[in-house]
Every structure is written in structure tokens, then in C-alpha cells.
A and B are shown apart, each in its own frame.
Chain A
């Protein structure tokens, strides 16, 4: 791994890159300084745990607290993590120097090698690398995009909106059955939104591709003049960031149709308040006005579903549900408390697809329009 240091950047850095670069060199300089002074080199990484997350009732989003975890080189349990942190920083520096971006997996392969004189790899799985990347993000206070990293494209969008993606005009109403794949980086440098080119009146976010497919096939977005997105489960940062931008820049309300299970509740919670792990990005992503349209735990009775669609709650689900009920941002909301309690009392969960048992297009033709009509949602 002995790479010759390349001080001279090969491409011209953007002001944003320059800022990132300063932070990266600052990190390295501190190591040199500590080594020179024969001190123990260490980095203080803001902790990304529930205990260091604060719910701001005023902003209605999750914010990161101030507690930090010290990661020391000369600590048996942290030495490897420290080494990995430095490796990721050097990898990002290389990307910046060359003006290129890479996927998380790409960086993982870039940095993965066998440590000299040991039968040990720097990284064994991509997951190990990904968490370190998040560490570096909070450590340098630079988001992933600024480190020239992107994740796999996930999530799709259709609707009455036209946008610019790296200079290409994308008309989201002419996307066929596949839709527009939402990229990982949706910063203004990549995607430009224009209020004038958006006819849609709201955004409907669904949990999964299969449900989204249903809505798309029934041309729900056409009939109701909206934008239809999905996040393939827990929405990735690209989807959340784009929803945030559309919500704020185009002033579109966001409605979510998610499964009636703890997982679905948490997806909604992440969209609305931000995630615990990425609390530092909440203010760039959280949409406190997002509404939870369904499925509700009363829907089994309300929609008169058959018993066959019930999925029993397992112990994990119950535990998770109780945990979610205790989150400060749910705790004070009575409708939410009764919603969760109702699910626990039902002792089963419901997927959005369960509505198909009524009729194939029940969800698009009856369920969602009715809810929207009645303004029947949870906040």
C-alpha cells in the first residue's frame, strides 16, 4: 500500500471539494503532530447512537447530540477501527484528487487488501467499510457526496414532473413501467428542480417496488396528478434527499403508504424525523410534514379483510413496536399510541399487498383516494 504521496491535485477542485480536502488534511496532520509529540493519536467521532440523538420539538427533527467517542490507535479494541478510519480518509482523498466518484462497494474494493505480515484483511465485508464511511462523514462533517461516494441506485419515481439530471431533461411522466431510478446523489449539482415544470400537487411515497408498480400500472399519478416514489424498503439517502428537496423547493405535501408493521412505522419515522444513525443529516432530509396514510391497524376491520392476510407478530416485532411507541417523537401523539397499541392488540401485521385480496386495484382505486378524500391520516 505504499503509495507515493501525490500532493499536486490532478484536477481542479471545486470550492466544496477544497473544503473537504482541508478537513481531510487536517485529520492527517493531527496524526503527524501526535506522533511527533509522542502522544497517542486519536480521533473524536460524534457518537451515532440513540443516546446521542435529541429530538427537537421545535424543528420536529432528530438532531445529533454533542457526545463523542474517542477512537485511539493504541487501544487494543480500537486499533483496527482507527486504521480503517485512516484508510477510508486516504481513499476519499484519492477520489477527490482524481475528481472521480465511486460507489461504496468500489471504495471497499479500493481499500481492501491484506495487511503486511499478517493473515488479516483491512476489510472483510462491505458492511465494515460502510460504517467507517459514516464515521468519517460525521468526523469531517462532510456528507457522503462531498467525499465523492455514492450508493447503489435504489428507489424509483414517476409523475407529472420534469427535472434536469446532469444536464439531461427527464420527463417523469414518460418513464414507462420502470420509472426514473432515483440516483444516490441528488444534490443541486446533479439534479435541478424547477417549480414551473412540475404540475403534480402532492407526492405519494410507497414502501416497495411491487406496490409502486401497482400504482404506476393503474396510472394513479395521472388520475390524481401526483408524484409516485418508492424507496425499496428503508429509503436510501438519495430518495430521502430528493423527497426533501421536492417537498421544500416545490412545496409538495408528502403522503406515505407503508405496511402496517413496526418496520413501516419506522420508515415513516425516518422520513419524518430522520434516522438515529444519520441524525447529522436530518436537517437535509427530514420532512416533518410527511403524513402517514396507511395501512392502519384498523384497516383489517375497516376494509373487511379476510383472515388469510394476517401475519402474526413475532417477539421481535412486539419488542420493536414497544420501542417505537417510546420514541419521544411518538410518545406525545395519542393517535400514534393508539395505532401502535391497536396493532399489538391485533397481534398481527398487514402488508399493503393484503388489500389486493379485496380487489387487484382496491388500493389505488378505493383505499388511497378515500383516505385522501377524508384527509384521514396520521401525523
Chain B
């Protein structure tokens, strides 16, 4: 019991009270005796320290004089080690209430002995130490090191929870071949507590698997295969549940349904951190089956289970300590970016302020199922190779290489074995570590063709365009999917999408529409109204608008006076919200948005290193280009090289950077062509307008002087003007073909989408009058 004092003390309230007391006091006592300084049992100390603490009482807690006389070197019997342990327990029991400042009594003694006998005295013995050495449960480890899994702070915890659940749902739906539809519901239950419910229309989970998937860390299907998927380890969702249980004490609630006719399974689960085992709380440890049909519905309603009625699917509800924010690194951002990279997904999102967002799917087809591949010899490390050799059943070395790796032909296998001076017919079971080392080096020396790249499923240019168009307001979209490439034996593929929004949605709104929007909004302040109604408008821009309209910060949008409305409208027309706006970079790895560690990422660094000035954007040295541009970069790979285990930034492999750069250049060129053309057309239309404006004046003046018929002269002049601008229309490009004048007509290939920004659906969020899709409570 005592060995886990550190972590358990930290984990806190849900551990039965009795143990808690004992553990806490023990920790305090031991800590003080060792160091002679008052130190509370430190929850952050790694497990190893906690163990060592335990030993000290074994050596010192007995009558001190005896120990001194006998010298520590002789204290070696198991019996001695056991005795002090006993006394510790006794001590703990008796002094539990008085041990507030143990350092006072312990310190003088400890320092006194230390000074005299420091050179010879052993603090502990191997035997004593052995008593504290034991297994660490995975869940214990991660409970303590939850920052490794993205639960560093309340804000990020909320995001990670949503992210893990949504990623799992998407993986499940795609694997089952179902077009995913996902409901995300976040509700505030206390100042720092939120309830997060995520439901999908996936295949559902078998009854006996539910507790394991949600209540056991490192349980999953994705770890043991080399295949492109969002999740990798099988840690995420159960860790989220564990975090929720730790911070709020509320169990994870899961309801899952496999088919219409079968009953739905309902579980309330806690994770037994020590054993890494689920602990089912409802249905006397067995979960509850909810029968299909009306009866089940009544049951759901009666027990307040959250569930959107679906023929099949899974819903997980976690209550956790969290903080809800908007903006960078928020759930809003994550869902929006997910919708971009997964255009086949329908997302319903209800945020804590009861705003409902809906991202409709823009693609009816699922992405093709990614193939699982065997590892490429170049991508394997020595340790892994040795392990594979060890685990392999008896076969020849040649066969081993041919069957366990991709791209190894008999000829290649022969060359590898030759290089390692191992016979091709040698039994792999008989190969030892030194052979593995030789084989490993031989692999590096042998020329092996690049791995097959058909295992990667890019989003595709068409779907990137659709996804971007659906979510990011703009007028010009371009996408580029690079051909697959290889780094360190791992195939990968880079995709780049770009959205350019010329004018902000606030500038496209008509006065009537604004009045309508003001009337139907339920936001409390004008600032909120602006942010929620106009996509892509940040708080800063909203502040600017409110200031320009000379409104007060807390004014209610629906109670504005006509004059104030007018002022707001004018401010929206006048203020350039895009001023100083920088390129926004959306990074994805296997369709999962990366929201943190932007500057450490290969994507950001490559974007910064690209010269965007040639593509019609302004950019200061070493900075992001300016302008209303959103850029998405997606890396799809069976193994995405992250810089750290938190999966937040992509590592800087030159091969990856090169591919990213080529992708950026491909969309950049298209953007440059479009912007140049737009500029030219604008100049042309300005020209035409100016001419037409003055022609009437000129013809009137001339007719006054020499008496020609004014209208006739005017018509003639208009003809000349048309001829003039038509000449420009007919300009030939460098291959002698006439250049199309309208930017919309510009032929930039298939992977470009140009829309009229004023009619863009994503630009303005209308309030839905009927509140559909709210889960039945």
C-alpha cells in the first residue's frame, strides 16, 4: 500500500478514506526523516523517489542508538528491515494528528549523525531497497504524468478530451465504412467544471469491450499495425475518462448501440488506476442494457441519459475540470479545422453558451480505406529488428526479410545477408544480437526501392477545396496534392490548400441584412454579436468596429437605436478588419488538426521560409505573409514524425520540408495568377468607368463649341472607349492565345475554386430559429 503513497496522495479524494490517512502520514514522516527538513509529500515527485522514501524508515525508524552502535553496514537481515516497517505503521497510527511539523524533532538528530559518520554510513541497503521495488501500472504512470497526454491545464484538458473522442469516433466510422456524423455537446456544470458529451453514428461497441476501451489505458486496435489512422496508441479516451474521474469524481458514462433491434448498453465507469482496470459502477458492476424501441426511450428519459436517437453509434460523456475559451487552441478551432480536413463529416456542436454550430459534410463519399503495410527496412531501428528476429518463428533469413518487410525481393534479401555475412538459409531463431547488428548495418548499405505509397490516403484536391470552401469564407481557393514521397523508409504525402478572402464578411453585408441579423441575434453585446455572426472576425477586429461605430462596449445589439445601427453599418463598411491580418496556417497530420507548438513545426518553418511576395502577398522578412489568407497543410503518413509524444509539431526532415515547399509553391503560383489578374481587371474596369464618366462631359462641351449632335458624338466616343478596353481584353499571352479577362474565367486547372465572396454561405452565421439536434436530456 505504502509504495504508491506519492501518486495516490495526489490522486486524492476517490481513494477510500482509511488508506488515505495512513499513506499521507507515512509519506510525511519519511520525508522529514530523510532530509531533516519539513517537506510535505510532494505529489509531483516521480515514482522512484516515492519508493526511496519508503526505505529510510526501514533503516532509521528503530531506536537510533542501536543503529549507531551496530553500524549500518551490518543491518542486513530481512528481519531487521521488517521491524522498522512495523514501527512506522505504528507511528503513523499514533501520530497521525500531530505530525504537522515533523522537521522540528527530526532535524537535529539527522544532521548530527550525518556530520560524524558521513563517509561510512550507508543510508540503505540493497535488500531494503528491494522491498520497495515493484511494478508501475500504466494508469498510475499517466495519472501522474498526464501532461504527456495533453492534460497540462484545464483549458487544454477540455480540448484533448473532445479531440480524443472525436478522433476515435472518426476512426471507428471510417473503419466501418459509415459516413460519420458527430455530436459534440459541452455544458458548464460548475465554475470550473464542464460536461462533455460526444456521440457518433459509428458501428457501436460490443458490450464486453466497452469497459475495456473506455476504462483501460493502452487498450486498442491501432497500436500493433502500420496503417494511416488518427489514433495510434489506445490511450487517449481512457486517459480523458481518468482525468475526469480524478478531477470531478464523476464516472465516465458510455452508451453504445450496435443495431436498431439490439439493446443499447449503458455503462458508468471509473478506472482503477492501480490495476489499470475498469470499474463498472452501474447495474451492480455489469452495466445496464436498454431495450430497443419506445421502452428504451422511456428508460433513457427517466434516467437522464444523454443520447441522440440513432440506429447505431456510441456516446461518451465525461465530466471534468476544465476551462472553456475561444480563439487559438480552442475546441471551436479544433472542430472547425477538423471539418476542413474531413469534408465527409457532419458535425453538430453545441457550446457552453448554447450556440449551435453545424458543419455539414460536403462530400458524400468516405475516403478510401488505408491499407496496412509492412515496415520498410530503412525505417526500422536496430532494437526493433532484433526483437522481430527474436519473435519470429523458425524460417530462413531470406524468408524473414521477404515476408516481414516491404520491398524486399529475394535478390535484395540475398544482398542484405551477403553484406552481413549471414547465410540466406540461416535460421533466424539462431541469429543473435551481433548478427542483428550486422544485418542492420547491411540494410543501410543495400539499395532498396522506396516503399509502396498506395497505403496513404490523401484527402484529395477536390475535397480540400470543398472543405475549405465550406468553412473558410473567401473568394479564391486552391489545393495541391503532392505525389507520395519517402522519408527514412516511411511513405508520406503532403497536401496544401489555400483560401484567399478578398473582403471581410462585414464589408459584404447589406444594410437590410444587418438589421435582420441584429434583430434575430440573441447575443448580449455588440462585440459578441459581431464575433459570432461573422466568421473569421476576431475579438480585436470586433473591438475596432465597435470603437469606429462609437458604440459602448456593453451595448445590447437588439436594442440599438436606428442611428447607432446606421453607425455600426458604416463602420463595418469602412473599417478594414483585414488590416494587419496575417496568414493563418492550419496544420494537419493524418487529418487531425495540430493546434500547439506552431513555431516548432516543420510546416510553419517552411511557410516562413517561402517567398510569398512573388505570389502577390506582402511579407516582411522572416514573418508570416500578410493578408486574408488561410493555408492548410496536411501530412498523411503511416508514421507521422512528431517532434514529441504530445503530437503537436512535425519534425524537420528535409524530405518533408521539400515536399511542403513544393506544395506551397504550387498553390502560391495559382494565387499569384489570380491576384495579378484581379488587379488587372480592376484597373480595366476602373478605366472603363472613368472614361464613361467623362465622355458625356466631353461630348457636351464639344457640341457646344461646334454644334454637332451631342448624343451622336457620345455614342461614337463610347464606341471608341469600348474598342479601347476591348483591345486590352484581347491581349494575347506569351503563347499567342487571347487572355481571358475575368478572374473567374481564368483557367487555373481543376484544383482551384473561385466564388463570389458576397454570397458565401460560411461568411455569416444565421441564428437557427428551431433548436434542433439538442440531445434529449
A345 within 8 A of B: no
B690 proximity list for chain A (CB < 8 A):
76, 79-80
Decide if A79 touches B691 in the complex (CB within 8 Å): yes
Chain B contact patch, size range = 20 to 34
A32 to B705, CA, bound (A): 11
Q: B529 → chain A, closest Cβ, in Å?
A: 31
Task: Name the residue on A nearest B704 (C-beta).
Answer: A90
A58 within 8 A of B: no
Decide if A31 touches B698 in the complex (CB within 8 Å): yes
Q: A255 → chain B, closest Cβ, in Å?
A: 45
B703 proximity list for chain A (CB < 8 A):
5, 28
B720 within 8 A of A: yes
A66 within 8 A of B: no
Q: A38-B720, A74-B720 are in contact. Are A32 and B700 (CB under 8 A)?
A: no
Decide if A40 touches B710 in the complex (CB within 8 Å): no
B693 within 8 A of A: yes
Which residues of chain B from 683 to 698 have any CB-CB distance to chain A below 8 Å in the complex? 683, 686-687, 690-691, 693-698
Q: Among B691, B697, B705, B720, which residue has the most Cβ atoms of chain A within 10 A?
A: B705
B701 within 8 A of A: yes
Q: B757 → chain A, closest Cβ, in Å?
A: 25
Decide if B713 touches A1 in the complex (CB within 8 Å): no
Mask, A113-130, CB within 8 Å of B = 1, is 001111010100000000
Q: A5-B704, A25-B705, A76-B690 are in contact. Are A87 and B720 (CB under 8 A)?
A: no
A2 to B702, CA, bound (A): 11
A82 within 8 A of B: yes
B707 proximity list for chain A (CB < 8 A):
5-7
B724 within 8 A of A: yes
A87 to B701, CA, bound (A): 5
Q: B576 → chain A, closest Cβ, in Å?
A: 21
A83 to B721, CA, bound (A): 14
Q: A35-B717, A73-B691 are in contact. Are A83 and B697 (CB under 8 A)?
A: yes
A1 to B697, CA, bound (A): 7
Q: A3-B700, A73-B717 are in contact. Are A28 and B694 (CB under 8 A)?
A: no
B713 proximity list for chain A (CB < 8 A):
31-32, 35
A24 within 8 A of B: yes
B708 within 8 A of A: yes
Q: A28 → chain B, closest Cβ, in Å?
A: 4
A117 to B720, CA, bound (A): 20
Q: Given A28, A39, A74, A117, which contacts B706 in the complex, CB threshold below 8 Å?
A: A28
A94 proximity list for chain B (CB < 8 A):
704
B719 within 8 A of A: yes
Decide if A74 touches B705 in the complex (CB within 8 Å): no
B613 within 8 A of A: no
B766 within 8 A of A: no
A35 to B698, CA, bound (A): 11
Decide if B716 touches A35 in the complex (CB within 8 Å): yes
A82 to B721, CA, bound (A): 14
Decide if A2 touches B710 in the complex (CB within 8 Å): yes
B371 proximity list for chain A (CB < 8 A):
none
A196 within 8 A of B: no
B761 within 8 A of A: no
Q: B52 → chain A, closest Cβ, in Å?
A: 81
Decide if A122 touches B697 in the complex (CB within 8 Å): yes
A73 to B693, CA, bound (A): 11
B80 within 8 A of A: no
A181 within 8 A of B: no
Decide if B721 touches A90 in the complex (CB within 8 Å): no
Decide if A73 touches B698 in the complex (CB within 8 Å): yes
Q: Given B697, B705, B717, B719, which contacts A93 in the complex, CB threshold below 8 Å?
A: B705
B695 proximity list for chain A (CB < 8 A):
73
A83 to B693, CA, bound (A): 10
A36 within 8 A of B: yes
Which residues of chain A from 109 to 159 have any CB-CB distance to chain B below 8 Å in the complex? 115-118, 120, 122
Which residues of chain A from 30 to 46 have any CB-CB distance to chain B below 8 Å in the complex? 31-32, 34-36, 38-41
A86 within 8 A of B: yes
Which residues of chain B from 703 to 751 have any CB-CB distance to chain A below 8 Å in the complex? 703-708, 710, 713, 716-717, 719-721, 723-724
A29 within 8 A of B: yes
A27 within 8 A of B: yes
A89 within 8 A of B: yes
Decide if B701 touches A32 in the complex (CB within 8 Å): no
B693 proximity list for chain A (CB < 8 A):
115, 117-118, 120
Decide if A24 touches B691 in the complex (CB within 8 Å): no
Task: Name the residue on A nearest B717 (C-beta).
Answer: A35
Mask, A58-81, CB within 8 Å of B = 1, is 000000000000000110100110
Q: Among B683, B691, B706, which residue has the most Cβ atoms of chain A within 10 A?
A: B706
Q: A82-B698, A83-B694 are in contact. Are A40 and B705 (CB under 8 A)?
A: no
Q: B143 → chain A, closest Cβ, in Å?
A: 70
A6 proximity list for chain B (CB < 8 A):
704, 707
Q: Given A5, A38, A86, which contacts B719 in the complex, CB threshold below 8 Å?
A: A38
Q: A119 → chain B, closest Cβ, in Å?
A: 10
Q: B256 → chain A, closest Cβ, in Å?
A: 66
A79 to B687, CA, bound (A): 9
Decide if B724 touches A40 in the complex (CB within 8 Å): yes
A93 proximity list for chain B (CB < 8 A):
704-705
Decide if B686 touches A89 in the complex (CB within 8 Å): no
Q: A1-B700, A35-B720, A116-B696 are in contact. Are A89 and B691 (CB under 8 A)?
A: no
- Nearest first, the 9 closest Cβ-Cβ pairs linking A and B are A28-B705, A90-B701, A28-B706, A5-B707, A86-B701, A35-B716, A83-B694, A90-B704, A28-B702
26 CB-based A-B contacts, threshold 8 Å: A1-B697, A3-B700, A5-B704, A28-B706, A32-B702, A34-B720, A35-B716, A40-B720, A73-B691, A74-B691, A74-B724, A76-B687, A79-B691, A79-B694, A80-B690, A80-B694, A82-B694, A82-B698, A83-B694, A86-B698, A86-B701, A89-B701, A93-B705, A115-B696, A116-B696, A117-B693
